[in-house]
Copies of this chain bind each other. A is one copy, B any other.
Protein backbone atom coordinates (compact mmCIF):
# COMPACT_ATOMS: atom_id res chain seq x y z
CA UNK A 1 0.00 0.00 0.00
CA UNK A 2 2.40 2.66 -1.13
CA UNK A 3 2.40 5.63 -3.44
CA UNK A 4 0.35 4.43 -6.41
CA UNK A 5 -0.33 0.86 -5.35
CA UNK A 6 -3.35 -0.23 -3.36
CA UNK A 7 -3.82 -3.55 -1.61
CA UNK A 8 -1.79 -6.23 0.10
CA UNK A 9 -2.32 -9.30 -2.09
CA UNK A 10 -4.78 -8.11 -4.71
CA UNK A 11 -2.64 -5.17 -5.68
CA UNK A 12 -3.74 -2.37 -7.96
CA UNK A 13 -1.21 0.15 -9.27
CA UNK A 14 -2.83 2.96 -11.19
CA UNK A 15 -0.93 5.16 -13.59
CA UNK A 16 -1.56 7.96 -16.04
CA UNK A 17 -2.48 11.60 -16.21
CA UNK A 18 -5.66 13.35 -17.26
CA UNK A 19 -4.23 14.60 -20.56
CA UNK A 20 -1.53 12.04 -21.35
CA UNK A 21 -2.04 9.39 -24.02
CA UNK A 22 -3.68 6.90 -21.64
CA UNK A 23 -4.40 5.93 -18.07
CA UNK A 24 -4.69 2.51 -16.55
CA UNK A 25 -4.17 0.00 -13.81
CA UNK A 26 -1.76 -2.86 -13.30
CA UNK A 27 -3.55 -5.54 -11.30
CA UNK A 28 -1.29 -8.10 -9.66
CA UNK A 29 -2.15 -11.05 -7.47
CA UNK A 30 -5.43 -11.89 -9.16
CA UNK A 31 -6.58 -15.47 -8.66
CA UNK A 32 -6.31 -17.58 -11.81
CA UNK A 33 -9.08 -19.26 -13.76
CA UNK A 34 -11.71 -16.55 -13.40
CA UNK A 35 -13.76 -15.72 -16.49
CA UNK A 36 -12.91 -12.18 -17.55
CA UNK A 37 -13.19 -10.06 -20.64
CA UNK A 38 -13.33 -6.41 -21.54
CA UNK A 39 -17.09 -6.77 -21.79
CA UNK A 40 -17.19 -7.62 -18.07
CA UNK A 41 -15.41 -4.40 -17.17
CA UNK A 42 -16.99 -1.92 -19.55
CA UNK A 43 -20.38 -1.61 -17.80
CA UNK A 44 -18.69 -0.46 -14.61
CA UNK A 45 -16.72 2.14 -16.53
CA UNK A 46 -19.82 3.31 -18.32
CA UNK A 47 -21.42 4.12 -14.95
CA UNK A 48 -18.54 6.45 -14.03
CA UNK A 49 -18.08 7.85 -17.53
CA UNK A 50 -18.16 11.64 -17.89
CA UNK A 51 -20.77 13.44 -19.92
CA UNK A 52 -23.74 11.21 -19.17
CA UNK A 53 -25.85 14.10 -17.86
CA UNK A 54 -25.55 17.84 -17.51
CA UNK A 55 -24.51 17.25 -13.91
CA UNK A 56 -21.11 15.80 -14.83
CA UNK A 57 -18.18 17.15 -16.83
CA UNK A 58 -18.92 17.55 -20.52
CA UNK A 59 -15.62 15.96 -21.51
CA UNK A 60 -16.43 13.20 -24.00
CA UNK A 61 -14.48 10.10 -23.14
CA UNK A 62 -15.62 6.67 -24.29
CA UNK A 63 -13.50 5.20 -21.46
CA UNK A 64 -13.01 2.06 -23.45
CA UNK A 65 -10.90 -0.36 -21.41
CA UNK A 66 -8.43 -2.75 -23.03
CA UNK A 67 -6.94 -5.81 -21.33
CA UNK A 68 -3.31 -6.03 -22.46
CA UNK A 69 -2.16 -8.97 -20.36
CA UNK A 70 -3.05 -11.55 -17.75
CA UNK A 71 -6.09 -13.02 -19.48
CA UNK A 72 -5.89 -15.96 -21.88
CA UNK A 73 -8.78 -17.53 -23.72
CA UNK A 74 -11.24 -15.66 -21.54
CA UNK A 75 -9.80 -16.58 -18.17
CA UNK A 76 -7.38 -14.88 -15.78
CA UNK A 77 -3.98 -16.58 -15.72
CA UNK A 78 -2.81 -15.37 -12.30
CA UNK A 79 -0.27 -13.02 -13.91
CA UNK A 80 -0.54 -9.21 -13.98
CA UNK A 81 -3.56 -7.79 -15.72
CA UNK A 82 -2.83 -4.56 -17.52
CA UNK A 83 -5.88 -2.40 -18.05
CA UNK A 84 -5.48 0.56 -20.39
CA UNK A 85 -7.93 3.36 -21.14
CA UNK A 86 -6.92 5.77 -23.85
CA UNK A 87 -7.54 9.48 -23.36
CA UNK A 88 -9.27 10.79 -26.45
CA UNK A 89 -10.81 14.16 -25.61
CA UNK A 90 -7.94 16.19 -24.16
CA UNK A 91 -8.34 19.90 -24.67
CA UNK A 92 -5.14 21.00 -23.08
CA UNK A 93 -5.59 24.56 -24.26
CA UNK A 94 -8.28 24.94 -21.63
CA UNK A 95 -5.62 24.76 -18.99
CA UNK A 96 -3.29 27.58 -19.85
CA UNK A 97 -4.44 29.65 -16.88
CA UNK A 98 -3.49 27.07 -14.33
CA UNK A 99 -0.08 26.32 -15.77
CA UNK A 100 1.29 28.95 -13.44
CA UNK A 101 -1.47 29.73 -10.93
CA UNK A 102 -2.60 27.39 -8.18
CA UNK A 103 -6.31 26.67 -7.88
CA UNK A 104 -7.44 27.21 -4.25
CA UNK A 105 -8.60 23.96 -2.70
CA UNK A 106 -6.73 21.98 -5.33
CA UNK A 107 -3.53 19.92 -5.36
CA UNK A 108 -1.81 22.27 -7.80
CA UNK A 109 0.23 23.98 -5.10
CA UNK A 110 1.20 20.87 -3.16
CA UNK A 111 2.28 18.97 -6.28
CA UNK A 112 4.39 21.95 -7.25
CA UNK A 113 5.96 22.24 -3.82
CA UNK A 114 6.70 18.54 -3.51
CA UNK A 115 7.83 17.69 -7.01
CA UNK A 116 8.95 21.01 -8.47
CA UNK A 117 7.26 19.95 -11.70
CA UNK A 118 3.67 19.03 -12.44
CA UNK A 119 1.55 18.10 -15.40
CA UNK A 120 -0.95 20.93 -15.01
CA UNK A 121 -3.14 19.83 -17.93
CA UNK A 122 -6.46 18.89 -16.36
CA UNK A 123 -4.80 18.37 -13.01
CA UNK A 124 -2.49 15.72 -14.40
CA UNK A 125 -2.12 12.92 -11.94
CA UNK A 126 -4.35 14.54 -9.35
CA UNK A 127 -7.33 14.60 -11.72
CA UNK A 128 -10.41 12.61 -10.80
CA UNK A 129 -9.87 10.97 -14.16
CA UNK A 130 -7.55 8.56 -12.29
CA UNK A 131 -10.62 7.00 -10.75
CA UNK A 132 -11.53 5.39 -14.07
CA UNK A 133 -8.55 3.09 -13.47
CA UNK A 134 -9.92 2.18 -10.06
CA UNK A 135 -13.30 1.36 -11.53
CA UNK A 136 -11.65 -0.91 -14.10
CA UNK A 137 -9.64 -2.66 -11.39
CA UNK A 138 -12.74 -2.87 -9.25
CA UNK A 139 -14.41 -4.64 -12.14
CA UNK A 140 -11.72 -7.31 -11.98
CA UNK A 141 -12.24 -7.61 -8.22
CA UNK A 142 -15.99 -7.97 -8.74
CA UNK A 143 -15.49 -10.77 -11.27
CA UNK A 144 -13.30 -12.66 -8.80
CA UNK A 145 -15.67 -12.05 -5.90
CA UNK A 146 -18.55 -13.30 -8.02
CA UNK A 147 -16.64 -16.55 -8.52
CA UNK A 148 -15.47 -16.95 -4.91
CA UNK A 149 -18.37 -15.48 -2.89
CA UNK A 150 -21.44 -15.75 -5.10
CA UNK A 151 -23.84 -14.08 -2.65
CA UNK A 152 -21.80 -10.92 -2.18
CA UNK A 153 -23.46 -7.69 -3.37
CA UNK A 154 -21.94 -4.20 -3.34
CA UNK A 155 -24.17 -1.18 -3.68
CA UNK A 156 -23.33 2.53 -3.56
CA UNK A 157 -25.55 5.56 -3.54
CA UNK A 158 -25.54 9.21 -2.62
CA UNK A 159 -26.93 10.07 0.81
CA UNK A 160 -26.57 13.80 0.81
CA UNK A 161 -25.85 16.61 -1.62
CA UNK A 162 -24.62 19.73 0.12
CA UNK A 163 -26.82 20.10 3.18
CA UNK A 164 -29.66 18.10 1.60
CA UNK A 165 -29.79 14.57 3.01
CA UNK A 166 -32.10 11.83 1.88
CA UNK A 167 -34.95 10.65 4.06
CA UNK A 168 -34.04 7.06 4.95
CA UNK A 169 -37.72 6.17 5.27
CA UNK A 170 -38.05 6.72 1.54
CA UNK A 171 -35.04 4.50 0.71
CA UNK A 172 -35.80 2.56 -2.48
CA UNK A 173 -32.93 0.57 -3.99
CA UNK A 174 -34.85 0.32 -7.25
CA UNK A 175 -34.57 4.04 -8.00
CA UNK A 176 -30.77 4.30 -7.54
CA UNK A 177 -29.91 3.56 -11.14
CA UNK A 178 -32.82 5.65 -12.40
CA UNK A 179 -31.56 9.13 -11.61
CA UNK A 180 -28.31 10.92 -12.43
CA UNK A 181 -27.29 11.07 -8.75
CA UNK A 182 -27.45 7.40 -7.69
CA UNK A 183 -29.97 8.68 -5.16
CA UNK A 184 -32.14 6.08 -3.35
CA UNK A 185 -34.76 8.66 -2.39
CA UNK A 186 -36.87 9.77 -5.39
CA UNK A 187 -38.00 12.96 -3.66
CA UNK A 188 -34.45 13.98 -2.82
CA UNK A 189 -33.35 13.17 -6.36
CA UNK A 190 -35.84 15.60 -7.80
CA UNK A 191 -34.87 18.24 -5.27
CA UNK A 192 -31.17 17.79 -5.99
CA UNK A 193 -31.68 18.23 -9.72
CA UNK A 194 -33.04 21.73 -9.18
CA UNK A 195 -30.50 22.58 -6.51
CA UNK A 196 -27.49 21.46 -8.51
CA UNK A 197 -28.65 23.18 -11.63
CA UNK A 198 -28.83 26.45 -9.74
CA UNK A 199 -25.36 25.96 -8.33
CA UNK A 200 -23.97 25.08 -11.73
CA UNK A 201 -25.44 28.17 -13.32
CA UNK A 202 -24.10 30.22 -10.39
CA UNK A 203 -20.61 28.95 -11.26
CA UNK A 204 -20.44 27.06 -8.03
CA UNK A 205 -20.13 23.44 -6.91
CA UNK A 206 -21.07 21.40 -3.86
CA UNK A 207 -20.04 18.43 -1.72
CA UNK A 208 -21.77 15.13 -1.06
CA UNK A 209 -21.98 12.05 1.13
CA UNK A 210 -21.81 8.59 -0.42
CA UNK A 211 -22.66 5.31 1.26
CA UNK A 212 -21.38 1.96 0.07
CA UNK A 213 -22.81 -1.25 1.49
CA UNK A 214 -21.58 -4.79 0.96
CA UNK A 215 -23.99 -7.58 1.77
CA UNK A 216 -23.07 -11.23 1.94
CA UNK A 217 -19.56 -10.60 3.24
CA UNK A 218 -18.41 -13.71 5.10
CA UNK A 219 -17.53 -13.37 8.76
CA UNK A 220 -13.81 -13.38 9.52
CA UNK A 221 -12.36 -10.98 6.94
CA UNK A 222 -9.91 -8.47 8.36
CA UNK A 223 -6.98 -8.67 10.69
CA UNK A 224 -5.59 -6.89 13.69
CA UNK A 225 -4.40 -4.21 14.07
CA UNK A 226 -3.07 -2.25 11.17
CA UNK A 227 -4.76 -4.35 8.50
CA UNK A 228 -8.20 -4.12 9.98
CA UNK A 229 -10.96 -4.29 7.44
CA UNK A 230 -12.17 -0.86 8.55
CA UNK A 231 -8.66 0.56 8.59
CA UNK A 232 -8.15 -0.55 4.99
CA UNK A 233 -11.58 0.74 3.99
CA UNK A 234 -10.75 4.10 5.55
CA UNK A 235 -7.49 4.20 3.63
CA UNK A 236 -9.21 3.15 0.41
CA UNK A 237 -11.99 5.69 0.56
CA UNK A 238 -9.78 8.52 1.79
CA UNK A 239 -7.51 7.86 -1.19
CA UNK A 240 -10.33 8.86 -3.57
CA UNK A 241 -9.98 12.41 -4.83
CA UNK A 242 -11.76 15.04 -2.71
CA UNK A 243 -12.77 12.69 0.11
CA UNK A 244 -12.42 14.33 3.55
CA UNK A 245 -14.01 11.82 5.93
CA UNK A 246 -14.80 8.13 6.23
CA UNK A 247 -17.32 6.50 8.52
CA UNK A 248 -17.97 2.84 9.36
CA UNK A 249 -21.40 1.88 10.67
CA UNK A 250 -22.68 4.69 12.85
CA UNK A 251 -19.46 6.61 12.20
CA UNK A 252 -19.22 10.01 13.88
CA UNK A 253 -22.60 9.41 15.47
CA UNK A 254 -21.10 6.50 17.44
CA UNK A 255 -19.58 9.15 19.70
CA UNK A 256 -23.07 10.08 20.87
CA UNK A 257 -24.14 6.58 21.83
CA UNK A 258 -23.96 4.92 25.21
CA UNK A 259 -22.59 1.42 25.59
CA UNK A 260 -26.07 0.08 26.22
CA UNK A 261 -27.31 1.55 22.94
CA UNK A 262 -24.24 0.65 20.92
CA UNK A 263 -24.15 -3.06 21.78
CA UNK A 264 -25.38 -4.95 18.75
CA UNK A 265 -27.04 -7.76 20.65
CA UNK A 266 -26.73 -11.28 19.32
CA UNK A 267 -29.19 -14.12 19.04
CA UNK A 268 -28.78 -17.57 17.58
CA UNK A 269 -30.31 -17.90 14.14
CA UNK A 270 -30.92 -20.92 11.98
CA UNK A 271 -27.53 -20.73 10.27
CA UNK A 272 -25.47 -18.95 12.91
CA UNK A 273 -25.27 -15.77 14.96
CA UNK A 274 -27.78 -13.05 14.20
CA UNK A 275 -27.32 -9.46 15.28
CA UNK A 276 -30.29 -7.37 16.36
CA UNK A 277 -28.78 -4.13 15.09
CA UNK A 278 -25.76 -3.01 13.10
CA UNK A 279 -24.25 0.04 14.74
CA UNK A 280 -20.88 -1.58 14.07
CA UNK A 281 -21.33 -1.49 10.29
CA UNK A 282 -20.49 -5.16 10.03
CA UNK A 283 -17.04 -4.92 11.57
CA UNK A 284 -15.90 -5.69 15.12
CA UNK A 285 -12.24 -5.53 16.13
CA UNK A 286 -11.37 -4.95 12.49
CA UNK A 287 -12.94 -8.24 11.39
CA UNK A 288 -16.21 -8.73 9.52
CA UNK A 289 -19.17 -10.09 11.46
CA UNK A 290 -21.18 -11.38 8.53
CA UNK A 291 -23.57 -8.41 8.72
CA UNK A 292 -23.61 -5.84 5.91
CA UNK A 293 -20.40 -3.82 5.79
CA UNK A 294 -21.47 -0.17 5.81
CA UNK A 295 -19.09 2.61 4.82
CA UNK A 296 -19.77 6.29 4.16
CA UNK A 297 -17.55 9.05 2.96
CA UNK A 298 -17.79 12.80 2.41
CA UNK A 299 -16.65 14.41 -0.81
CA UNK A 300 -15.76 18.08 -0.80
CA UNK A 301 -17.05 20.39 -3.57
CA UNK A 302 -15.15 20.56 -6.85
CA UNK A 303 -12.35 23.12 -6.54
CA UNK A 304 -12.40 24.09 -10.22
CA UNK A 305 -15.15 26.67 -10.46
CA UNK A 306 -15.94 29.61 -12.70
CA UNK A 307 -16.24 31.99 -9.75
CA UNK A 308 -13.02 33.93 -9.23
CA UNK A 309 -11.00 33.01 -6.15
CA UNK A 310 -7.90 34.69 -4.75
CA UNK A 311 -4.66 32.81 -5.13
CA UNK A 312 -1.00 33.11 -6.12
CA UNK A 313 1.07 31.86 -9.02
CA UNK A 314 4.47 30.23 -9.24
CA UNK A 315 6.18 33.60 -9.40
CA UNK A 316 4.59 34.46 -6.05
CA UNK A 317 2.21 36.99 -7.57
CA UNK A 318 -1.27 37.38 -6.13
CA UNK A 319 -3.96 36.78 -8.73
CA UNK A 320 -7.68 36.10 -9.02
CA UNK A 321 -8.36 32.79 -10.73
CA UNK A 322 -11.36 31.49 -12.62
CA UNK A 323 -11.03 27.84 -13.60
CA UNK A 324 -12.25 27.26 -17.11
CA UNK A 325 -12.39 23.77 -18.54
CA UNK A 326 -15.01 21.10 -18.09
CA UNK A 327 -15.76 20.18 -14.50
CA UNK A 328 -18.31 18.35 -12.41
CA UNK A 329 -20.49 20.66 -10.33
CA UNK A 330 -20.75 17.82 -7.79
CA UNK A 331 -17.81 15.45 -8.13
CA UNK A 332 -19.47 13.28 -5.50
CA UNK A 333 -21.84 11.91 -8.13
CA UNK A 334 -19.14 10.07 -10.01
CA UNK A 335 -17.56 9.01 -6.71
CA UNK A 336 -20.35 6.48 -6.24
CA UNK A 337 -19.02 3.85 -8.69
CA UNK A 338 -15.51 4.63 -7.44
CA UNK A 339 -16.47 3.91 -3.84
CA UNK A 340 -18.03 0.64 -4.95
CA UNK A 341 -14.84 -0.27 -6.79
CA UNK A 342 -12.69 0.40 -3.75
CA UNK A 343 -15.03 -1.68 -1.59
CA UNK A 344 -14.67 -4.57 -4.06
CA UNK A 345 -10.88 -4.31 -4.05
CA UNK A 346 -10.65 -4.18 -0.25
CA UNK A 347 -12.98 -7.12 0.25
CA UNK A 348 -11.19 -9.31 -2.26
CA UNK A 349 -7.82 -8.38 -0.83
CA UNK A 350 -8.98 -9.37 2.64
CA UNK A 351 -10.57 -12.55 1.36
CA UNK A 352 -7.20 -13.58 -0.08
CA UNK A 353 -5.35 -12.58 3.10
CA UNK A 354 -7.82 -14.56 5.16
CA UNK A 355 -7.44 -17.73 3.16
CA UNK A 356 -3.67 -17.31 3.31
CA UNK A 357 -3.59 -17.22 7.07
CA UNK A 358 -6.52 -19.38 8.11
CA UNK A 359 -7.25 -21.42 5.00
CA UNK A 360 -10.75 -19.98 5.15
CA UNK A 361 -11.83 -22.12 8.11
CA UNK A 362 -14.09 -20.54 10.72
CA UNK A 363 -14.25 -21.15 14.48
CA UNK A 364 -17.45 -23.11 15.13
CA UNK A 365 -20.41 -21.72 17.05
CA UNK A 366 -23.03 -24.05 18.40
CA UNK A 367 -21.93 -27.23 16.75
Contact = CB atoms under 8 A, between A and B. Distances in A.
A232 B6 CA distance: 12
A310 B274 CA distance: 11
Interface in A72-91: 72-73, 75-82, 84
B3 A223 contact: yes
Interface string A277-297: 001110111111110000000
A184 interface: no
Contacts of A112: 363, 365
17 contacts: A15-B82, A20-B69, A29-B357, A31-B358, A32-B357, A110-B286, A110-B288, A111-B287, A115-B363, A116-B358, A125-B225, A225-B239, A239-B286, A252-B252, A259-B301, A312-B365, A315-B366
Interface string A260-279: 11111111100001001001
Total identical chains? 4
Contacts of A236: 231
A249 interface: yes
Contacts of A103: 263
A350 to B, nearest CB: 11
Contacts of A264: 104-105
Contacts of A360: 359
Contact of A258 (B162, B252, B268): B162
B245 A238 contact: no
A209 B84 CA distance: 38
A251 B245 contact: yes
Contacts of A249: 244
A28 to B, nearest CB: 5
Contact of A107 (B102, B233, B287): B287
B15 A69 contact: yes
A250 interface: yes
A285 B246 contact: no
A125 B356 contact: no
Given A8-B2, A119-B77, A300 B257 contact: yes
A30 B223 CA distance: 12
B258 A226 contact: no
A269 to B, nearest CB: 10
A169 interface: no
Nearest to A26: B26
- Among A224, A241, A303, max chain B CB count under 10 A is at A224
A5 interface: yes
Nearest to A332: B255
